[in-house]
Amino acid sequence: MEGLIPLSIPNFEGKEKEYALDAVAQGWVSTGGAYINQLEEQLAAFLHIPSAAACQSGTAALHLALRECGVGPNDMVIVPTLTFIAAVNPVRYQFADPIFMDCDDSLCMDPMKLKEFCEKECRMQKDTLIYSKTGQHIKAIVVVHVFGNLADMESILAVARRYHLAVIEDATEALGSQYLKGEFAGKMAGTIGDFGAFSFNGNKIITTGGGGALVAREPEALKHMKYLSTQAKDDELFYEHYEVGFNYRMTNLQGAIGVAQMEMLPEFIRRKEKNYNIYCENLKDVPWGYMLPFCPDTSPNYWFYSLVLHERADLRKIISELKEAGIQTRPVWGLIHKQKPYRDFVAYGIEKAEYYSQRILNLPCSTQLTEEEIDKVIGVLKALFGTNR
């Protein structure tokens, strides 16, 4: 539809074209080249960590992290149900079983439910957490920082340490989100657990088209995952391989775009915050909903803007009506434990995820979004919901 205000689209205001053409001119367009290395260096510097590994997608990063954790057939991994399904599918790539956990009011994993589950539904066998009903070994937790909001990593890490669980941070939506106080003050999303995964998909705060990145607490673990991502080549000249590898390395063309996007990232976050605050100011007194706040004592990247409706609504109808008015919106994801491939797996205490899944409407949040467009979105919302709906 012409004139549609999109939900979240990429922004190529920087030197993306210049760098991509330079990569083509050099002939380095595949999984080798200087731009991949430069992007990794930029990302590591931005995150205040020693190194990062660029890969094909955030999903690939999560898969490599689970593999590095030693997750395998019949193991279990604790995951959120309120997330994009790509956070959970890699568990099944490793033939392991997910355990679905509820969210708290940040939309991220509820640490109290996590603690309760480990205490009441599991037992320790030496240094291993065992799910009591099946005897399966629980190996890891995948924590998603939803929409750029930050999970309560202090509480989650306390549980993980007590029960010897590896922690994989899915920071695919949270590049640039940072803790300001507490145990992890100054730390960025993705750099606190054992592993962190990032995504540069087209709707993320920066994009390489596809693409993602992986970080790890232990340098040797990151080195090994990077090796696996390039088909596990032990002798590149004579093609000797000592392990089963993957075609998970980022291309240099993607790296070139990523370098330009990283140069713009601080500006993108500034715009995201500004526009989020405009929404909040103009919707603060409406009787039918509120803008989901970001966690206190954090500096988020403001990736997605969530309007929470006070009453359960026909979101399909509302989204259709907004589209007719030239505004693209979307609901939160369908809960993963209800999806056909996952209905037979363990789901623990799912309550708030159900509540929010029926009430959240995500509003336009692109970095190109203008104040005039925000005014239109707000005006249409107020006309649609009125004062009493």
Q: How confident is the model at residue 387 (pLDDT cuts 50, 70, 90)?
A: low
Half-sphere exposure of 93 (CA within 13 A, CB side): 17
Residue 265: strand pairing partners: none
Q: Single out the residue in 227, 261, 295 at which a domain terminates.
A: 261
Whether residues 221 and 306 fall in one domain? no
Task: Provide CB contacts within 8 A for 161, sequence distance 6+.
Answer: none
Taking the CA atoms of 89, 93, 99 and 103 in sequence, report the sign of the dihedral they define: negative
Q: Single out the residue in 245, 261, 277 at which a domain terminates.
A: 261
Task: Provide CB contacts within 8 A for 364, sequence distance 6+.
Answer: 5, 6, 7, 8, 305, 327, 328, 329, 373, 374, 377
Task: Provide CB contacts within 8 A for 96, sequence distance 6+.
Answer: 66, 71, 72, 73, 74, 75, 76, 77, 139
CA pair distance 136, 127, nearest whole angstrom: 14
Report the pLDDT value the prediction gives residue 313, as an integer from 0 to 100. Answer: 87
CA pair distance 167, 156, nearest whole angstrom: 9
Give the helix/strand (H/E) hosting 166.
Answer: strand 166-170
Report the pLDDT value the prediction gives residue 389, as an integer from 0 to 100. Answer: 42
Whether residues 115 and 256 fall in one domain? yes
Whether residues 360 and 378 fall in one domain? yes
- Residue 75 domain-assigned (yes or no): yes
Residues in the chain: 389
> 292-334: per-residue pLDDT in tens?
999 999 999 999 999 999 999 899 999 999 999 999 999 999 9
- Residue 47 domain-assigned (yes or no): yes
Whether residues 270 and 256 fall in one domain? no
Report the pLDDT value the prediction gives residue 75, as an integer from 0 to 100. Answer: 98
Number of H helices, E strands in the chain: 11, 16
Range of the domain at 28: 16-261
Taking the CA atoms of 122, 123, 125 and 126 in sequence, report the sign of the dihedral they define: positive
> 350-378: per-residue pLDDT in tens?
999 999 999 999 999 999 999 999 999 99
Q: 327 near 292, Cβ under 8 Å?
A: no
Q: How many domains does the chain have?
A: 2
Whether residues 251 and 294 fall in one domain? no
Whether residues 270 and 160 fall in one domain? no
Whether residues 30 and 167 fall in one domain? yes
Q: What is the DSSP letter of 88?
A: T
Whether residues 223 and 315 fall in one domain? no
Q: Single out the residue in 217, 232, 261 at which a domain terminates.
A: 261
**What pTM value is reported for the model?**
0.96
> 182-226: per-residue pLDDT in tens?
999 999 999 999 999 999 999 999 999 999 999 999 999 999 999
Report the pLDDT value the prediction gives residue 388, as an integer from 0 to 100. Answer: 46
Report the pLDDT value the prediction gives residue 362, as an integer from 0 to 100. Answer: 98
Of residues 313, 305, 317, the one with CA closest to residue 357:
313
- Residue 2 domain-assigned (yes or no): no
- Residue 8 domain-assigned (yes or no): no
> 93-150: per-residue pLDDT in tens?
999 999 999 999 999 999 999 999 999 999 999 999 999 999 999 999 999 999 999 9
> 9-63: per-residue pLDDT in tens?
999 999 999 999 999 999 988 888 999 999 999 999 999 999 999 999 999 999 9
CATH number at residue 367: 3.90.1150.10
Report the pLDDT value the prediction gives residue 236, as an integer from 0 to 100. Answer: 87
Of residues 146, 142, 148, the one with CA closest to residue 108:
146
